[in-house]
Structure 1
Amino acid sequence: MRVVVAPDSFKGSATADEAARALARGWLARRPGDDVRLVPLADGGEGTLDAFAAARPDAERRTVTVPGPDGRPVSAAWLLLPDRTAVLELARSSGLPLMASPDPLGAHTYGLGAVARAALDAGATRLVVGLGGSASTDGGTGALRALGLRLHDDLGRDLPLGGAALAGLAGIDTTDLRPAPPGGVRLLVDVTAPLTGPAGAAAVFGPQKGAQPAEVTLLDTALRRFAGLAGGDPDEPGAGAAGGTAYGLAAVWGATIVPGATTIAGLVGLPGALAAADVVLTGEGRFDETSLTGKVVGSLLDSAAAAGVRVAVAAGQVAGPVPGSVSAAVSLVELAGSVDAALGDPGRWLTEAGALLAGRLST
């Protein structure tokens, strides 16, 4: 059989590439004669860069030191493809794990803009930016300031970095803003949240970054003030991604907001791989009803159904009924006997899952 192994990352335990290799190892142990192709996937959040690197061995990996979300220097990797497309991952420069301690009001995305600037300096003619795992709620203003945007108060003074400072915003100066690359900027998002309001960036994601109720209100007010001056469409689905970074880059820099899972699948060659496949093996940390709402596995199920390809799923946990579009599903927790055991040796249990699924789909 021709098999495509295309999982998402198992967050906290295995990258998409690690998961793909383990699943393939198990499958081939049971069916060594099969033609197995690895296409690890992502949705625009953490793991996006690794998915691209695994699927595109012709990509050149580069690293630049930039200010992290709390100002401390971080080493951020990015990819340059042969066609001069640069792939950036916000989590590498401005992600929550990079913070020494939570700072929901002052954390910023300046590092992301610094990486984008480095990519443009290196000759990139198009940017693909994975948005996810953000530490801040600054509307992407930090990134834009790294690219030359000036934000000032009513006395003409430059604002401090961070989302809270936007409450004092009086003017936006784009005079020195670096132009977007000629091929454009595509923002990969995995949420449909608008910029502001009860379903917006501050209300939904602010608490995950340490924001207390009063701070959520302040950040939402600050983002509304920014939107009032920047224009654009703060209600566009996905505008609230990465603390509103999607909105800011779209409104001020002309970037395009796109669904991360389907866009990455196209860019790494999944449609062509499915067209030649008999079976696709995918997986994620938890497979449940939310998996079908635009996430990696749900998007892949749709693509596989359109291509007439059978699907097998290996997940850390399988919760609820398995949809009819899935031919077989395996839970790593059930294989291992407990959550701790599954997390303790994910490679082993992913390999066992691959072998088990190979047996179930042999006919």
Structure 2
Amino acid sequence: MSKSGADIGFLLKKATAFARQHKKMEAEALFLEVLEVDPDNFQAKKGLEALVSLSIPQWHFDMLADENRNFAFQRAIEKFVSNDSNVLDLGTGSSLLALMAARAGAKSVLGCEVNPDIAQVAQKVVVMNGYHDRVNIVGKHSNQIEMGVDFEEKFDVILAEVLDTGGLGEGVLPSLRHATEHLAKPNAIILPSGISLNAVLVEAKRLQKVNPIHEISGFDLSAFQDFSMSDTYKPINLKDEPHEKLSDVFPLRTYDFRNLPAEIPFDNPEVESYKVKCTASGQLQAVAFWFDMHMGDEASYSSGPDGELVHWQQAVYFFEKPIDIKKGQQVDLQALFSDELIRFRLT
């Protein structure tokens, strides 16, 4: 029985309502029902596009547009991948790095992608580019794959571009611990081979007003802070955000992914202390930090404000209670390191 225009209108309204309530499956089913009757229905097509776009964060596109990031991996892959290489790509996303490994001659490439929608499209990308004979995408986290089921031979090269703005937040350390212990051959190549974290003290007056949020335009909006994660950093492009540097850049910590540290739980972090000399007077509101990404022992690339890697931006951790400081003053700072998060304290 065909549906009338009124029926289709009702289905579209219901689908749109589900979409606004973030009920993706229900909305998708109704949009598809409309398209079965009216394949050219513009509203249903756009509704489906919007639902699909929710499956993948915008930073994926910013990452793919980061030409220096792509070049850094391509250069390293071409150097370290050979015709005998079995390659594991952690968090493959679009499958770009997996494809680079195949183009460099890899014998086989397995890409792991925990997001099922992205994994499905990544496999489609592989087929479109003609590498489906050597590249396989599985919709699993790397700690779920099994030898004899998902792959036949342990891996010679691990691609671990699972870095967030602060370096550790996407779980690169636990992912690599599992991969090197259970999935990789001895002395497997890991790319990147490590990261070095650097930091600077900053005053950022505009953003400090909402980190945490208190009074805006004479109104107490502190209840709105419930929607913001506390005690964590935020990605901010310091080139675009007005701020004042209150210290020189100083090193925080280096991670060698070929020699991984033991697990550091969130509730029992490693604490390191720093004595930082202030180079300007102002209000110390935050610590900004970033990473240098190492590709073997020869090449490094920075996500800092003046670095080559642009899409990661910089991680900015705001103090709940800023302090006024004077030029030449020494600030006692603590960094709390756990496997997936870095936090700071003024002491």
Q: Normalising TM by the smaller chain, what interval?
A: under 0.3
Higher relative contact order, structure no. (Cα contacts within 8 Å, ≥ 6 residues apart)? 1
TM-score, reference length from structure 2 = 0.23
Q: Whose radius of gyration is greater, 1 or 2? A: 2
TM-score, reference length from structure 1 = 0.22
Q: Which has the higher helix share?
A: 1
